[in-house]
Amino acid sequence: MTPLGRSVRSGLIALADPAKAGPMQAYMKSEMPYLGVSTVPLRRMCKALFADLEYHTASAWQDDVLALWHHAQFREERYAAIELTGLRAARGFQRFSALSMYEEMIVSGAWWDYVDAIATQRLWEVLCNDPGPVKDLMRTWSTDDNMWKRRSAIIVQNKARRATDLDLLYACIEPSMESKAFFLRKGIGWALREYAWTDPGEVQRFVRENAHRLSALSRREALKNILRTGADKHR
């Protein structure tokens, strides 16, 4: 373990609440144990601990991130690794070359708490910085055998709003529309629901025209905010 890793673990142990650890592990269905540190104090600790970190190369930053990730004994340590990926000092490293690190974290993490944070925050930033090659890669991931890479490709634009590339969104959704996998069905619905804040009519059109292929879960999630907003207008 690196000195940074030891500092992270010590900081988390100081914040640990054993009464929360078991329920948190049960909720996340995690084989890796928790210390019982919730999101707000974890992020506060990471912000203070990482404040003075400087990286002169992308490889040095990635080495620290992956060391935290690989040596984690508690799930919160992996959350800290994800926090380190978003370090202000590493903004210049959020380029296509970082995707091999993110891919490793997505594939080895293989659960929604890790994957969703990486995909909607870090992959999105990389997509903004290097759109051409990242879009090509997301299309490739959308047909991958690994479900979590598929989900990442589907939800990568969830924060895009008006900047959403609809061709890319639909291209990444299409290979999984008839999937039986819950996390793909849910991911499709979530991605469409987020875009519905920008263009509800387009989402309604897409769901209507693909109703025979989309699962009931995907359709319900996609239209949730539209239907709720419509109901509110008639009150």
Give DSSP secondary structure letters for 118-183. Answer: IIIIIIHHHHHHSHHHHHHHHHHHTT-S-HHHHHHHHHTTTTTGGG--HHHHHHHHGGGTT---HH
Per residue in 88-144, pLDDT (tens digit) is: 999 999 999 999 999 999 999 999 999 999 999 999 999 999 999 999 999 999 999
pLDDT class of 232 with cuts at 50, 70, 90: very low
Buried b (16+ CB within 10 A) or exposed e, 109-118: bebbebbbbb
Rounded to an integer, what distance in angstroms lies between the CA atom of residue 163 and that of residue 155?
14
- CA quadruple 183, 109, 93, 37: dihedral sign: positive
Per residue in 152-180, pLDDT (tens digit) is: 999 999 999 999 999 999 999 999 999 99
Task: Classify domain 1-93 by CATH number.
Answer: 1.25.10.90
Give the side-chain half-sphere CA count within 13 A for 149.
Answer: 19
pLDDT at 1 over 90: no
pLDDT at 15 over 90: yes
- Residue 15 C-alpha from the chain's centroid: 25
Residue 137 carries which side chain, given as an amino acid letter?
L
Output the pLDDT for position 229: 61
Residue 87 carries which side chain, given as an amino acid letter?
L
